[in-house]
Structure 1
Amino acid sequence: MSIAAVAVGESLADRAYAVIRDRLVMLEIRPGDPLNDDRLAAELGTGRTPVREALKRLEGDRLVVAYPRRGTFATAVDITDLAHLSEVRLALEPVAARSAARDAGNADRAVLAGLAERIAALDPGGAPRELLRADVEVHRALYRATGNPHLEDVCVRLDNLATRIWVLFLDRLPALPGHVHEHAALLDAVVAGEEERAAELAKAHVEGFERSIRALL
């Protein structure tokens, strides 16, 4: 898994961060697993320095934890965090949706419109992990469309932690396809500039996430 192809303006550390982050979010690196600098550098086709920089950022995201003389490990998925995550996301997700509906440029609206079509066409019987990856893609595109880097950063971090909880229960979530498909209406509202409707749908989405998980506890 080489990261030799780096986007314009993106450093090797940025790319290493993105790759390792997504493996942590999707629990491909399991909670409690050690993250070895040398092994990751070899897998990613880069040096140890970009990996170390990426791991430091991931520690700030609460996705890894470093212990002196022991090393760096993927953090546990703590279900007791659900209420805390939901409290903050219920406040911020409507803000992000409203902001994107109001401020997104033409290019971002075109991206969101394309995503809406893709989401609407997704096979409900598809692989759960692929459905969840689509969910993550929608969230990140919507946050980017706000044009507010601070809001985007906070929302991405929270969504990453919430997604790890989804993955933990992935095989027991029959509501997942519906949860992902409801993004089509949210994206349509954002593209159309319907600020309040977008905010309402974003809030309902977070509430549905919490209900689905709590039903399994």
Structure 2
Amino acid sequence: MDTASSDTRTNADRAYDLIRERLVMLDIRPGDPINDDQLAGELGFGRTPVREALKRLERERLVIAYPRRGTFATIVDMTDLADISEIRKQLEPTAAARAARVATSQARERLSELISVLSEITADDDPREVLRIDVGVHCEIYRAAGNPHLEDILVSLDGHATRIWCLFIDRLPDIADHVREHISLLQAIVDGDEEKAATLTLAHVTGFEEAIRALV
């Protein structure tokens, strides 16, 4: 993120990012109660930014608030897999092709840097850290596409897909290989090859769904 955009970010934005990562990576487990006072203390923010962040996360269906009961992390529902995959198969290739077409020189430079990061991933790396890299790669592709509406949709969907990954992370021995698949995709975007970027993205999303279904 550039300096200008960083300077305009509020404490609510920062709280949102931190809490969202905990929810997506299942550091806050599905069904767990969420205490806004405790979170505010842990994150070093006041209660108001945390509450604003939780309202935003509720719209993304990552938390749910019940009157007089409190706020909880949503359950990861495996029946959502087909719905999530259906939309991602349509929109992810669109975003990748668009990124290949319109990405700025700065965006292409960031994607090139990520290629180097991905090249260093090994099967011995912590799967959770590899998955965090995967999330970052996806976000950079969505951002490079230059359509904030498309970006918002895909960031939300990728978050739910990552929660599903995390449920099975101990049973998926090839996470490093799955994430390294992005190397050729990122290169296609950097090279401006729209068709290849879209094709590789569709294969990646389809492979994710197939890998999960093989374990269910």
TM-score (norm 2): 0.97
Shift of residue 7 of structure 1? 3.3
Q: Distance in 2 between matches of 1:101 and 1:52?
A: 38
Tell me the CA shift for residue 46 of structure 1.
1.1
1:3 corresponds to = none
Shift of the alpha carbon at 1:61?
0.6
- How far off its partner does 1:124 sit? 2.1
Mapped pair 1:207 → 2:206: yes
Give the distance between the partners of 2:121 and 2:177, measured in 1 at CA. Answer: 10
8 Å contact from structure 1 (residues 63, 75) kept in 2: yes
Match of 2:81 in 1: 82
Letter in 1 for 2:87: V
What CA distance in whole angstroms lies between the structure 2 residues aligned with 1:33 and 1:143? 30
**Aligned residue type for 1:95:** T
Residue 123 (str. 1) matches residue 159 (str. 2): no
Taking the aligned partners of 2:23 and 2:214, their CA distance within structure 1 comes to 25
Contact 2:16 2:56 in 1 (8 A): yes
Question: How far apart in 2 are the matches of 1:92 and 1:20?
Answer: 26
4+ runs of 1 displaced by more than 6 Å?
A: none
Instruction: Decide which moves more: 145-154 or 122-131.
Output: 122-131
The answer to whether the 8 A contact 2:103-2:144 is kept is yes
RMSD of Structure 2 on Structure 1 (CA): 0.9
Give, in angstroms, the shift of residue 16 of structure 1. Answer: 0.2
Displacement of 1:178 in angstroms is 1.1
Mind listing any 5+ residue stretches in structure 2 that lack a counterpart? none
Corresponding residue for residue 197 of structure 2? 198
Q: Retained in 1: the 8 A contact 2:58–2:65?
A: yes
Residue 157 of structure 1: aligned partner: 156
After TM superposition, the structure 1 = structure 2 runs for residues 128-143 of structure 1, keeping only pairs within 5 Å, are 128-143=127-142
State the alpha-carbon separation in 2 of the partners of residues 62 and 112 from structure 1.
29
1:77 Cα deviation after fit: 0.4
- TM-score, L = length of structure 1: 0.96
Question: Aligned letter for 1:25?
Answer: V
Map 1:49-128 → 2, pairs under 5 A = 49-128=48-127
Counterpart contact for 2:123–2:174, Cα < 8 Å: no
Give the drift of 1:18.
Answer: 0.4
Residue correspondences, number: 212
The equivalent residue for 1:187 is 186
Percent of aligned pairs with the same amino acid: 61
SS in 1 for 2:31: coil
Stretch of structure 1 that moved more, 117-126 or 38-47: 117-126
Q: Which SS does the other structure have where 1:17 is aligned? A: helix
Deviation at 1:171, TM superposition (A): 0.2
The amino acid across from 1:137 in the alignment is: G
Deviation of the 1:151 alpha carbon: 0.5
Q: Describe the SS at the equivalent of 1:65.
A: strand
